[in-house]
Amino acid sequence: MSIKLLPGLYESLVNELIEVGLAEAARENLRAELRGLDAGDSHEYFAQYLAGHIRKAFAALPLTERLEKQVELANRILVLLADSVPTSFDRQQSKVLRAELLIALSLAPIQRADTPLSTSCLMTGTRQDPSLVSQLRKEIATADAVDILCSFIKWGGVRILEDSLTQLTADKPMRVITTSYMGATDLKAVEFLRALPNTGVRVSYDTHRTRLHAKAYIIRRGTGFGVAYIGSSNLSQSALTDGLEWNVKISQYESPHLWAKVCATFETYWNDSEFVLYTEDSRDRLRQALQNERSAGDSDTILSFFNIKPYPFQQEILDRLEAERKLHGRFRNLVVAATGTGKTVIAAFDYARFKREQEGRPTRLLFVAHREEILKQSLATFQTVLRDHNFGDLLVAGSEPEKLDHLFVSIQSFNSRELWKSIPPDFFDYVCIDEFHHAAAPSYQRLLEFVKPKILLGLTATPERMDALDVVAFFDDHIAAEIRLPDAINRKLLSPFQYFGITDSIDFSQIRWQRGGYDVQELENLVTGNDVRAQLVINKIREILLKVSSARGLGFCVSVNHAEYMASVFNRAGISAVALSANSPRDLRLSVQRRLVNREINFIFVVDLYNEGVDIPEIDTILLLRPTESLTVFLQQLGRGLRLHDDKDCLTVLDFIGQAHQNFSFESRFRALLGQTAKRVDEEIEQGASRTYQPGAL
């Protein structure tokens, strides 16, 4: 007897019939992938295999004597197992030839999901579970058909599955059911799905009666190893990546009764007149329905400006600082905290605790940074935490302090005023140096050599420097506490982001390399006035963003000329943009920032202006338009868009990557995005790395 094995995924023990089928498949040049069983769980596969035959045998018994015969057979099986363990089940066409599973049959290697096809499981959105988006990509890649049922569909969710859905529908069918409920669905997402070949979309417009809340992703396979993900995840970026969503994976093989019900229910919905086929002519109807729903749900949200209690993760860092000092006697401490997690807030609470503990003794404070904006924000933070709006004095160009007891000073003013000549080294009891990665520069050496405080606190998001100078050495190679970018996003402290590495039209490999980076003038000459490249940038933002006119973006450029050129090109293309630099008047910078927040303009092109120290939580798009050699600067630029804000689901990052110089390294930045993993960076990228901070990213 022979068997025809269909190409696709399997999880079958190899018996004589399968072996015959494999021999026939080999003659058709199909590749059989076999995997040895693990002794720790092999009993599950064998028991499942036996259960299938027992089920068939029991079901074949005549009704008149079925119960009696089933009891008799069950007992005989139990006796046999008890007497014969270990044993084999030796029947024609069913004898297991070896302890191996057939898991795939294909012309090329197939990537499979991280959970088995033959058993069900629960995914809860925690870091211990794979992300739903990573599993859907792998499942869709081996599907023969896909059905999706969601109450709403967001462009961010469709976008991270765009490649998978496009490849699927090239020759396989897909059906999608959704609603206009709450106006949450994005019209662009539905339009994209409608335009795919072999795809049908149905929409319910009656949100008052239907209110479909079910979410299901049904992966059909001709091999009989289909799966369905059913739970709380709509087709949105947050639900597929970083939400605490619960989704059960149902196995067709293990639970045929559940599978049949899922498929039958979907068919019922699909054929229900309540769900209307969406066509090219339906666009206006859906747009109006979504607008009506959104208008009905309008409400004003009042946000608290600042909470004077530390967040739990900040308290963890404060506790570690206290332990460093009281248990280990370390009073020079470095805190590494990702941009946007509140480094200055941590410092303010740490100083407040120090002040309480001094019980009336002097608590003179020196806070040092290299930008006036950082100092002003930091002073405001300390005043809020200490509940004293008269606290502190600024010493920057054009500003004179009344006294030095609580001084917020720029490093430039510290040096130009030669403060070390007017105060003793131990004058300040508590010294905090923000953006401590700058401390390796000569301008900081006089400060570090001079001050002798009771406590010195360094703050930075990235202690690593591209010039190999080691700022951690100042703290005896010890970091007191840290929360890096991946951990901060996993904890929902920062916005998740979608990173798109876009092939650039420019070849940077021949640009002169000097002092650890590209020659800036050559770089500027290559990108400024390059209309082909500028058009590529415009084409990509129109392709990737939901609505360009709603974007609030920053574009990081090579030079002032490059920034002005990009702003000019965008304005000519109908995309409102402005160029700013560090030399732009402060009033102009503030007015442009307000216009961006109000969406009066959509993009600000800058050189080094917004790398650090300025917070615009509304920023939802970052354009990286130059190769950035410094990991610190790269993460700072990324950090400009990672602040949480109610008006954005995620940050979109477009990194235009050309042929790089041989000395340019991408590994450090991708490692910083991925965090610590057991795999090499290239392996993570090739296998579609998708954590909460990069849905659809690398």
191 vs 201: CA distance, rounded Å? 9
Chain CA centroid to CA 611, Å: 21
440 vs 446: CA distance, rounded Å? 11
The mean-pLDDT minimum among 138-152, 582-596, 599-613 falls in 599-613
Identify the CA nearest to 682 among candidates 698, 695, 694, 697: 698
Tokens 């209309």 correspond to: 531
Order of strands, edge to edge, in the sheet holding 497-507?
497-507, 651-659, 621-624, 553-556, 603-606, 577-579
Q: Is 284 helix (H, G, I), strand (E, B) or coil?
A: helix
* pLDDT reading at 682 higher than 70: no
Mean pLDDT in residue range 309-325:
91
Q: Is 107 helix (H, G, I), strand (E, B) or coil?
A: coil
Instruction: Assess contact for 106 and 8: CB atoms under 8 A.
Output: yes
Find residue 467's DSSP bridge partners: none
610 vs 309: CA distance, rounded Å? 28
Structure confidence by residue, pLDDT tens digits, 284-313: 999 988 988 877 644 433 333 344 678 888
Confidence of residue 126 (pLDDT cuts 50, 70, 90): confident
Confidence of residue 168 (pLDDT cuts 50, 70, 90): very high
683 token code pair: 């392996």
655 vs 577: CA distance, rounded Å? 19
Strands (E), 331-429: 332-337, 365-369, 393-395, 406-410
Mean pLDDT in residue range 439-457:
92
Q: Is 622 helix (H, G, I), strand (E, B) or coil?
A: strand
| DSSP secondary structure code for residue 474 in this structure | G
Please name the fold of domain 121-296. Answer: Endonuclease; Chain A (3.30.870)
Tokens 């795939």 correspond to: 104
* pLDDT reading at 695 higher than 90: no
124 vs 63: CA distance, rounded Å? 43
Identify the CA nearest to 563 among candidates 552, 578, 575: 578
Question: Which pLDDT score, from 0 to 100, does residue 678 have?
Answer: 47
Mean pLDDT in residue range 559-570:
95
Determine whether 340 is exposed, middle or buried from the number of CB atoms within 10 Å of its CB (0-12, 13-18, 19+). Answer: buried
Confidence of residue 170 (pLDDT cuts 50, 70, 90): very high
Question: Which pLDDT score, from 0 to 100, does residue 71 have?
Answer: 80
Structure confidence by residue, pLDDT tens digits, 366-402: 999 988 888 999 999 999 999 898 899 999 987 889 8
* pLDDT reading at 689 higher than 70: no
Share of the chain above pLDDT 70, in %: 87
* pLDDT reading at 73 higher than 90: no
* Domain 312-483, architecture per CATH: 3-Layer(aba) Sandwich (3.40)
344 vs 379: CA distance, rounded Å? 9
* pLDDT reading at 161 higher than 50: yes
**Mean pLDDT over the full length of the chain:** 86
* pLDDT reading at 447 higher than 90: yes
Instruction: Assess contact for 471 and 638: CB atoms under 8 A.
Output: no
Question: Which pLDDT score, from 0 to 100, does residue 209 have?
Answer: 57
Q: Are strands 247-251 and 121-123 parallel, antiparallel or unpaired?
A: antiparallel
Of these ranges, 80-89, 236-245, 418-427, the one predicted with the greatest mean pLDDT is 418-427
Determine whether 404 is exposed, middle or buried from the number of CB atoms within 10 Å of its CB (0-12, 13-18, 19+). Answer: middle
* pLDDT reading at 241 higher than 70: yes
The mean-pLDDT minimum among 211-225, 467-481, 578-592, 667-681 falls in 667-681
| DSSP secondary structure code for residue 610 in this structure | T
Mean pLDDT in residue range 202-217:
81
Is the domain covering 493-686 a CATH 3.90.550.10 domain?
A: no
Order of strands, edge to edge, in the sheet holding 145-149?
121-123, 247-251, 227-231, 216-220, 145-149, 174-179, 199-204, 275-277
Of these ranges, 252-261, 307-316, 581-590, 679-688, the one predicted with the greatest mean pLDDT is 252-261
Question: Which pLDDT score, from 0 to 100, does residue 629 have?
Answer: 72
5 vs 301: CA distance, rounded Å? 59
The mean-pLDDT minimum among 27-41, 78-92, 295-309, 640-654 falls in 295-309
User: Would you tell me how many other CB atoms lie within 10 Å of the CB of residue 365?
Assistant: 24
- The secondary element (H helix, E strand) that includes residue 356 is helix 343-358
Angle between helices 66-84 and 42-60 in degrees, nearest 10: 150
Find residue 249's DSSP bridge partners: 121, 229
Identify the CA nearest to 592 among candidates 608, 583, 604: 604
Instruction: Assess contact for 685 and 674: CB atoms under 8 A.
Output: no
Strands (E), 270-331: 275-277
121-296 and 493-686: same fold? no
Is the N-terminal amide bond of 116 cis, ω within 30° of 0?
A: no
Structure confidence by residue, pLDDT tens digits, 483-535: 988 888 877 888 989 999 898 888 888 888 877 678 888 888 888 999 999 99
Domain ranges in the chain are 8-106, 121-296, 312-483, 493-686
